[in-house]
Amino acid sequence: MSSCSIHSSTKIIIPTIARYFGTKGRYEEVNTYLMDDILATNNSLVTLPPSKCSEIHLTAIIRHGTRYPTIKNIQKMREFYDLVVGDATGNLNCLSEIKSQWKMWYTDDMDGRLVDKGRKDHRHLAQRLIKWFPSLLTEENVRHGRVKLITSSKHRCVNSTIAFREGLMKALSIEAELELAVNDALMRFFDQCERFVKEVENNKSALEEVKHFNEGPEMKRVMEKMADRLQVPYASITDDSVEAGFFLCAYEFAIQELNSPWCQLFDEVDAQVMEYAGDLKQYWKRSHGHDINSKSSCILFHDLFYRLDRVVSQINSDGIVSEAVTVQVGHAETLLPLLTLLDLFKDDIPLSSTNFATQHNRIFRSGKIVPYAANLLVVLYKCPEGIRMGVRLNEKSLTLPGLTDPVPMYEDVKKRYRALLEGCDQETVCTINKS
């Protein structure tokens, strides 16, 4: 590894390790055709119902766009930068580049805020959704209050929602009132679920698999290779150091589309280990690792089906749908528990600290599921045989587990999830039994 210089050209040079960035990854890494045309829609990825059906409703649950690191990660990144600049003596090209040209430009006040790229993520998504659903995202529906925008209170979500609205208005060539409603009970349910906070969020043992992996042989090897490249003592590199270096590479690419010299400090095997560490954390903290992770999203699950039921009853009575499109903007932590509740992305063997080697083909890959601007689209269709429902994740059709039809009858979906529809009460699920 003698050279690690940065390339400069008008075409974006994608780091070879970009597909391993997990939740810090770009949406374009999931849908690579967008690199050529950011407003393209790929019909080959979507299964539609028979041609005599018409779309009657869309709910889009969307993660905020690309953001700055949080203050906690900015501090880790600064510490690693200081170590590299102060102590590293390796002779790699990228090291001299980091020392002579790269400045630590992240500041504490950036703390998780939306970046320009994140605004574009949402403006462009809005424009693509108009192409996907031209009969729903219409000027008439906007003007008549049939398009609703709901957001988490976090500034990155509010600003993503505003950007989505801008994209919508621009593409429809209108100026109209379209208010945002802040609703943390729905979009940040995890903060308000007492049992989740106590048993997972504030419980170190809930993430012991992550801790064991970070202390295990694969991560130890990544740390040793990093120390060798930097020519610093092994003791000065921790799992936090390599994570910080990985983030410096990932954020630089996501925010500025730069293949930064930091990326050259990792080879592909290192990146796979870093990705697995991130996926382990998401798995145990937000997904299949603990039952309460998914159950904490019951409130959002019921909100979705309550709305779908209302649309169906309106179609069956007078045919006028009061809410044609509902857009809800939240976090990776909003989407992952709900997708988990729907039984999606479940590997036969749980992810653990000891099975990295056998999980290379795992289904649970956070970068594929919840990159920046990830979106779950639930569509209702009115068909001659009744109401059908389609589900897409990141603009690709998904077949719900236990159902064979990619666009099943809505009643069949409700039968599949009957246990959750009849149970999964947020208050019961989230209350800690004091006895």
The residues annotated as belonging to the active site are 64
- C-alpha 410/C-alpha 227 separation (Å) is 56
Q: How many Å is the Cα radius of gyration of the chain?
A: 23
| Total residues found in the chain within this entry | 435
In sign, the C-alpha dihedral spanning 289, 341, 47, 64 is: negative
- The single residue listed with the structure tokens 């780091």 is 15
Q: Which of 218, 262, 260, 255 is nearest to 239 (CA)?
A: 218
- 192 Cα distance to chain centroid: 20
**Distance, CA of 146 to CA of 84 (rounded, Å):** 54
Q: Which two tokens stand for residue 292?
A: 């309460």
Count Cα atoms within 13 angstroms, Cβ side, for 49.
22
> Cα 268–258–329 angle (5° rounding)?
90
Query: How many CB atoms within 10 Å of residue 374?
Result: 28
**126, 149 Cβ separation under 8 angstroms:** no
Give SS3 for 293: helix
Identify the bridge partners of residue 329 per DSSP, sorted by sequence position: 62, 151
